[in-house]
Amino acid sequence: MFGTTSYAATDYAQEAQLRKELPIQTNDISGWPHGPEITAQAAIIMEANTGTILYAKNIHEELFPASTTKIMTCLLAVENSSLSDEVTFSNEAVFSVPKGGSNIGMDVGQSITMEQALYGIMVGSANEVANAVGEHVSGSISDFVKLMNTRAKELGCTNTHFANTNGLQADDHYTSVYDLALISREFFNNELLCKVGNTARYHFTATATQPDDFYLNNKHKLINGEIAYEGILGGKTGYTDLARETLVTCAEKDGLKLICVVFMEESPAQFTDTVTLFDYGFNNFHAVNVADNDFRYMPDDSLFFESDNDVFGRSGTILKLGRTDSIILPKTSSIEDTDYEILYDLTEDEKSQFPTAIARVAYSYSGVPVGNAYVCYSKSSAENSAETVNSNRTIYINVKILVLVAVILVIAFSVLGSVLTRVLSGRTHSSRSDRLRYNRRKKEFNHGKFKSGKF
């Protein structure tokens, strides 16, 4: 028995060494920072805000995810239920989990809140809880699995098929590190899920529907403090005999939000390699704000992409770049090293996320997509003119035009004043002459009548 165990361990070590020699696709990109060799069969570092892939090793290979599957289960739970919902454990939810499988000891007929269930899944990796959540959301485990596959396609997954809620070994249950990074990107975009996924220890207290008092301890070493790392937002462990060790982790610092997924590792390399990959990402890349740094498609004689900061003739713009739109670049490069393409066929997702956008500027570096910026309507012209003076808005004034109008008005009033003066002067003189002439004739007439005696 000991010989068999030793032989198996040696085999795994040899396999890990062979995996370390597999090519890293991002190392073939011209000007891209050279990525580290690790013992994972597949690995990815994705920047969550932009979707930029910083490190790629066999990222589309279909492999077994094990319990990292539960990231999708919890995402769907939050999207389709309330935290206060009562999740009840059926016979199928409890007994479809094989003996020895990860669980927290829930019995048939017991119930916990959905919030407790999320902690049970993410902290305790409880298979029976994942099943119960699936039944609660969709009515049955099989219908929930259909929902998992539908949601995966919506998120852009092309090498994924789920067969269960928890990641138990099955030939038709697989995904890729790229697809799982897409799912994790959505997961870590949710504040509640980040909190749940970054919990080192959770306390279950006894209730009327669940009689036990116990603690769950997270086995993710970057979450429970065994391996300290700045900026961890959460993650999930996974293991089966065929999947080997799998791990998902998210960390944020220096303006970057990185998701690391590693498949098929030997413990503790899944943790140490994740640290190595995070260091590679944070040390070699940075986020570059597009509006502040790229002026290549903003010619001076065009009002198309003008800044509203220039009050002398440039303040009437109606289009502008998103102020927070950034791209990810190697620290040794600048935005001038990128290529860009302006695209007008926005997806429905983009239209929903950016309702005022009319175009997307897609950036690439050595042929690799590194992020987007959006051209959006600015509320600086037509929309603002329709709003009331008391509304909370920015009023844009074109000083050059204002001065020109003022000069024209001054000249016009001067000319008009001169004309009126002449007219009025002439009219006064004419009236006085007529009055004198009238008075003289009147006197002569009266004098004549007096002489003749005719009255």
Rg of the chain over Cα atoms, rounded to whole angstroms, equals 38
Question: What are the start-end ranges of the H helices in 294-390?
Answer: 348-353, 382-385
The CA-atom distances, in angstroms, between 140 and each of 83, 98, 149, 331 are 19, 18, 15, 49
Catalytic residue status for 140 = no
Q: What is the dihedral of CA 16, 20, 23, 27, to 10 degrees?
A: 150
d(CA 5, CA 418): 111
Which of the 8 DSSP states describes residue 215?
A: E
Pick the catalytic residue from 57, 67, 221, 333. Answer: 67
Catalytic residue status for 142 = no
Sign of CA dihedral 326, 329, 331, 335: negative
Catalytic residue status for 125 = yes
d(CA 441, CA 436): 9
Pick the catalytic residue from 57, 102, 111, 125. Answer: 125
Long-range contacts of 362-366 (CB under 8 A, 24+ apart): 363/290, 363/327, 363/335, 363/338, 363/339, 364/338, 364/339, 364/340, 365/29, 365/31, 365/32, 365/329, 365/330, 365/333, 365/337, 365/338, 365/339, 366/29, 366/30, 366/31, 366/32
For residues 233 and 193, is the Cβ–Cβ distance under 8 A? no
For residues 327 and 288, is the Cβ–Cβ distance under 8 A? yes
d(CA 331, CA 280): 12
The Cβ of residue 62 has, within 10 Å, a number of other Cβ atoms equal to: 14
Pick the catalytic residue from 70, 236, 257, 320. Answer: 70
Active site residues: 67, 70, 125
